[in-house]
């Protein structure tokens, strides 16, 4: 009798657990150590008593009543689930079902009289490697007493709801992927190429195979499916095969799998590779002029060209009262998210029919799923990717890093495999911010009104495509900043080299363009004899005006002027106080735009006990998208549903087809809120039916491609965020002492999270402006700054005062008027700092970073 | 790993007031590795293994150190406190609560190390100035917050303690 139903099973099972899991497909009892009975994960109730099922023979249970969590009443189940979630009583969760069964047995017996120390003694039968047990006991205590703790002050849109899982994060409890432990798990380490451009003559793996603890070594020959992956172009080899050619320092040649990470890494160093080394192409001008191809399996070093023109630029330059030209060069920088890339892949079943569950911290887990399935040569239905909230990304976790490698090893070995990169490997592997050289020519009238702009830009996109062509497309689109320019001619080329890959990084091309554009505006202001604020005020884009490639701006763009007006009193006060002052104004698209059909979905489920489950398609990476999702659900449902906020669950995994692409382009809150809102409305329309998926969709499918000569007024983006920032430098110390930031976010969904995004961006923007750099050696293409210290990230003591002013000019047609805030925070920063430095010493800056240690103006 | 290192090294670490026997550890293993991988205390995060990010900050005899730079075997006679051991009653500490209240947590990866560093500060310097706060956490890199909310969290915790809260 199992869960109230009489069953018959084969005699051959070694123990009850095997019968439950393998024959009856009852999987809540976990197999942590069978048949040794030492972990407690497989605990079940037999006639009401808690027993480890891997130590129980079938004869012993014949005729008795076996109950697993599947057979427990739903209300009671959710009481336990809520208490464990609210108390932070679970991390990887593997041990929890067994513990819940044990707790249930005790609570059934003693009720509210159950003492904590007694329960602690009973937990002696259970191993939990994650929690340290305190939270588990707390959760159990709450269940025993019948007082499930509510989450504090969780509310709807516009509230300062504490971040979802914040307490667990603050406690160090919430597991990141490297914190996940699965029984039988092995560890993978990668062997990277020693040369950025070399033909691989041979890969000898025998020494690594013979090393202590090593279970397997895999090379490209072991890949059953496709070798190449990539978000847009499939040009990025998971490993370089013998006969193939490396193209950058992050190329992988072999995977070593061992019992511990220490053994795996030690053995990975023993892989012996014979290279035929070629001269790497590390200079964009060489790449553009040579007939040699930098990157293996590509035909051309030009990755993309983005261009458009409107009006007569030559005439503008001829007639302009002031015409100036300048060349700017920005640097490569590293994301330096705190959590290095980690992946855990857990297979089940056989290679022929089995499946794979991958825990990924990637920014687009549906993309991860599709590419992993390609590499394994199986259908998407056999791979599930579950997002584990990551420890920071900023664009650097869009491309897969080690997901495919961990997945491949687990798939071939049929055991769980985890792969965690070291900091150095993280530096080597993931894509960086593009260095871009930009030639700007600009003209204006005697009154300082812009008349013409020509821009020629070349970006170093490194080896593989990643999203490099889109970064340069965004750079081109944002070339003119938030200003009206009657005549414009822009071209931006992304070039392949053997340098680190250029890809997504918060700001995505807009930062580079607007560092240059703001610099041109300040130079013109000086010629005209007006202030930096005044020239921006005379040229700022306003509703109905034509912008950039010809887009007619909607009413949302009044945010640009609003930000400028908000900053004015601070600008005037700082100047009056004799400070060196610089002003930056910027805009940043939210959403991919450029003709891309952006569709995202969300699911809202209301369970019988009113537990609210929200599933969306976006990666939580610290920005708070999970919090936004639950605030939207509260906003939309609170008048018709009695929401217990402690019973809201936010889930992101590929078991539903909700995702379309990456959590990128400042669009998570905009589109995620739209989809959750739609799902809630679907739920309302369906009478809040319990236990089913209510699906909502949000789409932006009306944008147009950049540079289509047949379209006079393209809508390259549906939505923009706007910001003005003021950098104030003390003339004596020469230090940036304060940054005032006025940001039009449309709607501050959660002011605390919103301010956090902006402050974090300003910090990153000041680093970009002043000190951060991630160069590569021109002779080898290898990065030269391989420690966190050498990156030039500003430390806490170096951060100036930051005043954030939230401006809320709603975006027409966007849910709640949202504009997006993820990236805009560092778009105007470098320009503002450059202007303030010029005010300080009279020197115009053309290169970033502007105060690298050792540089002359330090 | 050669055989001579793998053998039967044995030592005892006192972590969060509990003695742990560490067996079969390679003698060069870092305290960070031993805490996370052998003692099952994943609260301490590893982000650089270069002593530069502060994510693995723990207290060793009351001093804040980077656990990645300390050999575990050299910590045998020390009292080690990790983020898991800051609270004595299983509830979040005052500092953890102010980090949440002030919005000082975004991705959260640097947070445990910062929490330890701030406890270290406030336990020694009950009324730190803004400059002292900045200096105290300058060994910790946060890439998300820009530190503004973190400064605020420390000030809130300081003020609450001074008020006897």
Residue B60 lies in a domain: yes
**Same domain as B62, residue B7:** yes
Interchain contact, A166 vs B100, CB within 8 Å: yes
Residue B56 lies in a domain: yes
**Same domain as A348, residue A263:** yes
Residue of A nearest to B88 (CA): A134
Residue numbers of the domain that contains B35? 3-83
Torsion of CA B14, B19, B20, B21, to 10 degrees: 110
Q: Measured between CA atoms, how close is B77 to chain A, in angstroms?
A: 23
- Quick one: pLDDT band at residue A131, thresholds 50, 70, 90? very low
Residue A479 lies in a domain: yes
Q: Residue B60 in 3-state DSSP?
A: strand
Interchain contact, A623 vs B131, CB within 8 Å: no
**Same domain as B107, residue B72:** no
Residue A707 lies in a domain: no
**Same domain as A401, residue A343:** yes
- pLDDT tens track for A490-546: 999 999 999 999 999 999 999 999 999 999 999 999 999 999 999 999 999 999 999
To the nearest whole percent, how much of chain B has pLDDT over 70?
Answer: 94
**Same domain as B76, residue B13:** yes
**Same domain as A349, residue A454:** no
Interchain contact, B96 vs A167, CB within 8 Å: yes
Mean pLDDT value of segment A47-76: 89
Q: CB-based contact (8 Å) between A130 and chain B?
A: yes
- pLDDT tens track for B72-86: 988 998 999 999 999
Domain with residue A114: its CATH number is: 1.10.150.120
**Same domain as B33, residue B78:** yes
Interchain contact, A132 vs B41, CB within 8 Å: yes
Q: Measured between CA atoms, how close is A258 to chain B, in angstroms?
A: 12
**Same domain as B67, residue B98:** no
Residue of B nearest to A169 (CA): B108
What is the number of CB-based contacts under 8 A between chain A and chain B?
A: 195
Q: Is the per-residue pLDDT at A426 higher than 50?
A: yes
Residues of chain A contacting residue B128, judged by C-beta atoms under 8 Å apart: none
Which B residues, 60 through 89, put their C-beta within 8 Å of a C-beta on chain A?
A: 83-84, 87
Domain with residue B51: its CATH number is: 3.10.20.30
Torsion of CA A264, A267, A268, A270, to 10 degrees: 180
Domain with residue A423: its CATH number is: 3.90.1170.50
Q: What is the pLDDT of residue A261?
A: 86
To the nearest whole percent, how much of chain A has pLDDT over 90?
Answer: 74
**Same domain as B113, residue B75:** no
Q: How far apart are CA A104 and CA A140, in angstroms?
A: 9
Q: Which of B84, B105, B146 sits opposite A799 (nearest CB)?
A: B146
Question: Which of B143, B149, B152 should be substituted to probe chain A, the one whose Cβ sees the most A Cβ atoms within 10 Å?
Answer: B143
Residue of A nearest to B26 (CA): A262
Residues of chain B contacting residue A391, judged by C-beta atoms under 8 Å apart: 45, 47, 107-110
Residue A848 lies in a domain: no
Residue numbers of the domain that contains A608? 598-700
For residue A843, the tally of other CB atoms under 10 A from its CB is 11
CA-wise closest residue to B129 among B96, B92, B162: B162
**Same domain as A522, residue A402:** no
Inter-residue contact A811 to B159 (CB < 8 Å): no
**Same domain as B10, residue B68:** yes
Interchain contact, B55 vs A338, CB within 8 Å: yes
Q: Is the per-residue pLDDT at A854 higher than 70?
A: no
Q: Which of A266, A392, A758 sits opposite B109 (nearest CB)?
A: A392
**Same domain as A210, residue A263:** yes
Residue of B nearest to A621 (CA): B107
Residue of B nearest to A173 (CA): B43
Residue holding tokens 């009104």?
A449
**To which H or E segment does residue A471 belong?**
helix A468-477
- Quick one: pLDDT band at residue A323, thresholds 50, 70, 90? very high
Ranked by mean pLDDT, the top range of A46-50, A235-239, A783-787, B144-148 is A235-239
Q: How far apart are CA A774 and CA A777, in angstroms?
A: 10
Q: What is the pLDDT of residue B7?
A: 46
Domain with residue A37: its CATH number is: 3.10.20.30
Mean pLDDT value of segment B145-149: 93
Interchain contact, A263 vs B1, CB within 8 Å: yes
Q: CB-based contact (8 Å) between A529 and chain B?
A: no
**Same domain as B108, residue B52:** no
- ipTM of this predicted complex? 0.75
Q: What is the pLDDT of residue A167?
A: 66
Q: CB-based contact (8 Å) between A753 and chain B?
A: yes
Which A residues, 379 through 408, put their C-beta within 8 Å of a C-beta on chain B?
A: 389-394
Q: Which of A700, A735, A763 is the last residue of a domain?
A: A700
Q: Which of B37, B47, B90 sits opposite A340 (nearest CB)?
A: B47
Q: Which of A27, A55, A71 is the last residue of a domain?
A: A71
Distance linking the first and last C-alpha atoms of chain A? 78
Q: CB-based contact (8 Å) between A799 and chain B?
A: yes
Residue B66 lies in a domain: yes
Q: CB-based contact (8 Å) between A749 and chain B?
A: no
**Same domain as A323, residue A219:** no
Residue A117 lies in a domain: yes
Ranked by mean pLDDT, the top range of A76-80, A208-212, B3-7, B26-30 is A208-212
- Quick one: pLDDT band at residue A36, thresholds 50, 70, 90? low
**Same domain as B73, residue B9:** yes
Q: How far apart are CA A309 and CA A454, in angstroms?
A: 9
Q: How far is CA B32 from CA A308, B35, B136, B139, in A?
A: 54, 5, 21, 16
Mean pLDDT value of segment A819-843: 96
Interchain contact, A171 vs B92, CB within 8 Å: yes
**Same domain as A789, residue A752:** yes
Domain with residue B106: its CATH number is: 1.10.150.120
**Same domain as A372, residue A231:** yes
Interchain contact, B103 vs A163, CB within 8 Å: yes
**Same domain as A655, residue A582:** no
Q: What is the pLDDT of residue A203?
A: 98
Q: Let me know if B48 is exposed, middle or buried by CB neighbors in 10 A (0-12, 13-18, 19+).
A: buried
Q: CB-based contact (8 Å) between A761 and chain B?
A: yes
Residue of B nearest to A756 (CA): B145
Domain count of chain A?
Answer: 5
**Same domain as A478, residue A350:** no
Q: What is the pLDDT of residue A855?
A: 42
Q: What is the pLDDT of residue A18?
A: 80
For residue A318, the Cα-to-chain-centroid distance in whole angstroms is 46
Mean pLDDT value of segment A766-781: 96
Mean pLDDT of chain A: 92
Between A173-182, A358-367, A581-590, A621-630, the lowest mean confidence (pLDDT) is in A173-182
Q: Is the per-residue pLDDT at B117 higher than 90?
A: yes
- pLDDT tens track for B88-101: 888 899 999 999 99
Question: Which of B100, B107, B140 should be substituted to probe chain A, the one whose Cβ sees the most A Cβ atoms within 10 Å?
Answer: B107
Q: CB-based contact (8 Å) between A669 and chain B?
A: no
Mean pLDDT value of segment A117-128: 76
Residues of chain B contacting residue A389, judged by C-beta atoms under 8 Å apart: 107
A297 or A163: which leads in pLDDT: A297
Q: Angle at the Cα of A783 (from A780 to A787), degrees rounded to 5?
A: 145
Residue A849 lies in a domain: no
**Same domain as B130, residue B77:** no
Residue B75 lies in a domain: yes
**Segments in A230-281 forming alpha helices (H):** 261-268
Q: CB-based contact (8 Å) between A795 and chain B?
A: yes
Ranked by mean pLDDT, the top range of A147-161, A167-181, B108-122 is B108-122
Residues of chain A contacting residue B50, judged by C-beta atoms under 8 Å apart: 423, 787-789
Which A residues, 164 through 203, put their C-beta within 8 Å of a C-beta on chain B?
A: 165-167, 169-176, 178-179
Residue A705 lies in a domain: no
Interchain contact, B148 vs A788, CB within 8 Å: no
Residue A632 lies in a domain: yes
Residues of chain A contacting residue B145, judged by C-beta atoms under 8 Å apart: 756, 759-760, 763
Q: CB-based contact (8 Å) between B145 and chain A?
A: yes
Mean pLDDT value of segment B145-153: 94
Q: Measured between CA atoms, how close is B151 to chain A, in angstroms?
A: 9
Q: Residue A413 in 3-state DSSP?
A: helix
CA-wise closest residue to A460 among A586, A591, A333, A594: A333
Interchain contact, A339 vs B101, CB within 8 Å: no
Q: Residue A107 in 3-state DSSP?
A: helix
Q: What is the pLDDT of residue A92?
A: 46
**Segments in A52-95 forming alpha helices (H):** 58-61, 74-87
Q: Measured between CA atoms, how close is B8 to chain A, in angstroms?
A: 15
Residue B89 lies in a domain: no
Residue B109 lies in a domain: yes
Phi, psi dihedral angles at A719 (to 5 degrees): -145, 145
Domain count of chain B?
Answer: 2
Residue A575 lies in a domain: yes
Q: Measured between CA atoms, how close is B112 to chain A, in angstroms?
A: 5
CA-wise closest residue to A622 among A388, A272, A409: A388
Interchain contact, A212 vs B1, CB within 8 Å: yes
**Same domain as B33, residue B62:** yes
Domain with residue A646: its CATH number is: 3.30.365.10
**Same domain as A359, residue A326:** no
Residues of chain B contacting residue A132, judged by C-beta atoms under 8 Å apart: 40-41, 84
Between A28-37, A329-338, A818-827, the lowest mean confidence (pLDDT) is in A28-37
Residues of chain A contacting residue B72, judged by C-beta atoms under 8 Å apart: none
- pLDDT tens track for A388-422: 988 899 999 999 999 999 999 999 999 999 999 98
CA-wise closest residue to B43 among B12, B86, B105: B86
Mean pLDDT of chain B: 90
Residue of A nearest to B138 (CA): A796
Q: Which of B83, B102, B118 is the last residue of a domain?
A: B83
Q: What is the pLDDT of residue A326?
A: 98
**Same domain as B60, residue B25:** yes
Dump the DSSP string for B90-150. Answer: SSPPHHHHHHHHHT--SS-SSHHHHHHHHHHHHHH-SS--HHHHHHHTTT---SSSTTHHH
**Same domain as A621, residue A551:** no
Residue B88 lies in a domain: no
Interchain contact, B106 vs A178, CB within 8 Å: no
Q: Let me know if A112 is exposed, middle or buried by CB neighbors in 10 A (0-12, 13-18, 19+).
A: exposed
A727 or A74: which leads in pLDDT: A727
Q: Which of B83, B107, B139 is the last residue of a domain?
A: B83
Q: Which of B83, B111, B138 is the last residue of a domain?
A: B83
Q: What is the pLDDT of residue A174?
A: 62
Q: What is the pLDDT of residue B4?
A: 39
Q: CB-based contact (8 Å) between A814 and chain B?
A: no
């Amino acid at each position: 009798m199992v869960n109230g139903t009489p069953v018959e099973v084969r005699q051959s099972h070694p123990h009850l657990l095997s019968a439950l899991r393998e024959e009856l497909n009852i999987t809540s009892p976990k197999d942590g150590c069978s048949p040794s009975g030492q972990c407690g994960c497989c605990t079940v109730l037999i006639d009401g008593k808690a027993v480890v099922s891997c130590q129980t023979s079938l004869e012993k249970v014949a005729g008795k009543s076996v109950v697993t969590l599947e057979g427990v009443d739903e209300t009671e189940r959710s009481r336990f689930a809520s208490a464990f979630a609210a108390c932070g009583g679970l991390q990887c969760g593997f041990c929890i079902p067994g513990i819940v069964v044990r707790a249930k047995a005790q609570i059934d017996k003693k009720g509210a009289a159950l003492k904590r120390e007694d329960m602690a003694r009973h937990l002696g039968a259970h191993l939990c490697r994650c929690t340290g047990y305190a939270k588990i006991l707390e959760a159990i205590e709450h269940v025993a007493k019948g007082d499930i703790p509510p989450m504090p002050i969780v509310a709807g849109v516009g509230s300062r709801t504490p971040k979802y899982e914040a307490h667990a994060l603050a406690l160090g409890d919430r597991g990141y992927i490297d914190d996940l432990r699965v029984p039988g798990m092995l560890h993978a380490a990668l062997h990277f190429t020693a040369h950025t451009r070399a033909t691989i003559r041979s890969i000898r793996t025998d020494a690594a195979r013979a090393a202590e603890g090593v279970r397997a070594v895999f090379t490209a020959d072991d890949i059953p499916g496709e070798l190449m992956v990539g978000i847009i172009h499939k040009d990025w080899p998971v490993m370089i095969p013998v006969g193939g050619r490396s193209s950058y320092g992050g190329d992988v040649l072999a995977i070593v799998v061992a019992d511990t990470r220490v053994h795996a890494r030690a053995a990975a160093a023993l892989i012996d590779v014979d290279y035929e080394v070629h001269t790497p192409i590390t200079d964009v001008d060489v790449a553009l002029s040579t007939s040699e191809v930098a990157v293996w399996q590509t035909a051309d070093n030009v990755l993309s060209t983005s261009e458009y023109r409107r009006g007569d630029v030559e005439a503008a330059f001829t007639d302009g009262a002031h015409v100036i030209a300048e060349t700017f060069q920005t640097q490569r920088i590293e994301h330096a998210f705190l959590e290095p890339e980690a992946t855990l892949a857990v297979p089940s079943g056989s290679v022929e029919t089995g499946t794979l569950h991958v825990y990924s911290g990637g920014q687009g887990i549906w993309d991860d799923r599709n590419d992993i399935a390609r590499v394994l040569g199986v259908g998407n239905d056999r791979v599930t990717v579950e997002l584990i909230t990551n420890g920071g990304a900023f664009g650097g976790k869009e491309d897969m890093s080690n997901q495919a490698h961990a997945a491949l090893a687990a798939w071939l070995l049929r055991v769980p495999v985890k792969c965690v990169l070291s900091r150095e490997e993280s530096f080597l592997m993931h894509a960086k911010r593009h260095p871009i050289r930009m030639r700007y020519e600009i003209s204006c009238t005697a009154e300082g009104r812009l008349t013409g702009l020509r821009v020629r830009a070349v970006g170093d996109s490194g080896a593989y495509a990643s999203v490099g062509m889109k970064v340069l497309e965004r750079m081109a689109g944002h070339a003119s900043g938030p200003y009206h320019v009657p005549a414009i001619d822009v071209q931006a080329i992304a070039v392949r080299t053997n340098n680190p890959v250029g890809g997504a990084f918060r700001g995505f091309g807009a930062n580079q363009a607007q560092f240059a554009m703001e610099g041109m505006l300040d130079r013109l202001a000086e010629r005209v004899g007006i202030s930096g604020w005044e020239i921006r005020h005379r040229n700022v884009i306003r509703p109905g005006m034509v912008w950039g490639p010809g887009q007619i701006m909607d009413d949302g763009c009044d945010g640009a002027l609003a930000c400028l007006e908000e900053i004015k009193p601070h600008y005037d006060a700082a100047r009056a106080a004799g400070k060196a002052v610089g002003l930056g104004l910027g805009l940043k698209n939210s959403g991919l735009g450029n003709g891309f059909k952006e569709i995202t979905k969300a699911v809202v489920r209301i369970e019988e006990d009113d537990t609210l489950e929200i599933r969306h398609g976006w990666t939580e990476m610290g920005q708070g998208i999970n919090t936004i999702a639950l605030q939207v659900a509260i906003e939309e449902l609170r008048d018709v549903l009695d929401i217990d906020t402690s019973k809201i669950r936010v889930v992101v995994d590929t078991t539903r087809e909700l995702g379309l692409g990456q959590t990128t382009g400042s669009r998570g809150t905009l589109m995620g809120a739209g989809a959750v809102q739609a799902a809630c409305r679907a739920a309302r329309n369906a009478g809040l039916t319990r236990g089913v998926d209510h699906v909502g969709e949000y789409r932006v499918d009306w944008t147009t491609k950049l540079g289509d000569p047949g379209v006079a007024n393209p809508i390259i983006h549906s939505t923009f965020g706007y910001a003005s920032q003021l950098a104030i430098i003390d003339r004596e110390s020469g230090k940036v002492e304060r940054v005032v930031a006025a940001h039009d976010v449309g709607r501050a969904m959660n002011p605390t999270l919103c301010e956090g995004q902006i402050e974090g961006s300003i910090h990153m923007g000041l680093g970009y402006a002043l000190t951060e750099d991630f160069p590569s050696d021109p002779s080898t293409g290898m990065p030269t700054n391989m420690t966190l210290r050498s990156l030039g990230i500003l430390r806490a003591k170096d951060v100036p005062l930051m005043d954030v002013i939230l401006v809320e000019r709603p975006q027409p047609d966007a849910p709640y008027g949202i504009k997006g805030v993820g990236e805009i925070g560092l778009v105007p920063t470098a320009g503002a700092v450059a202007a303030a430095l010029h005010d300080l010493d009279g020197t115009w800056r053309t290169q970033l970073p502007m105060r690298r240690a050792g540089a002359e103006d330090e | 790993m050669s055989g001579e290192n793998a053998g039967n090294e044995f030592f005892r670490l006192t972590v969060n007031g509990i003695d742990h026997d560490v067996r079969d550890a390679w003698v060069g293993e870092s305290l960070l590795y031993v805490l996370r991988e052998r003692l099952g205390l994943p609260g301490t995060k590893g982000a650089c293994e270069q002593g530069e990010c502060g994510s693995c900050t723990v207290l060793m005899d009351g001093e804040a150190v980077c656990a990645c730079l300390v050999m575990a075997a050299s910590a045998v006679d020390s009292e080690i406190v990790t983020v898991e051991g800051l609270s004595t009653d299983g509830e979040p500490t005052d500092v953890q609560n102010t980090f949440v209240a002030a919005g000082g947590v975004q991705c959260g990866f640097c947070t445990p190390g910062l929490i330890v560093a701030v406890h270290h500060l406030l336990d020694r310097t009950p009324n730190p100035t803004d400059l002292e706060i900045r200096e105290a956490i300058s060994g910790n890199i946060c890439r998300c917050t820009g530190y503004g909310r973190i400064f605020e969290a420390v000030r809130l915790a300081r003020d609450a303690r001074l008020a006897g809260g």
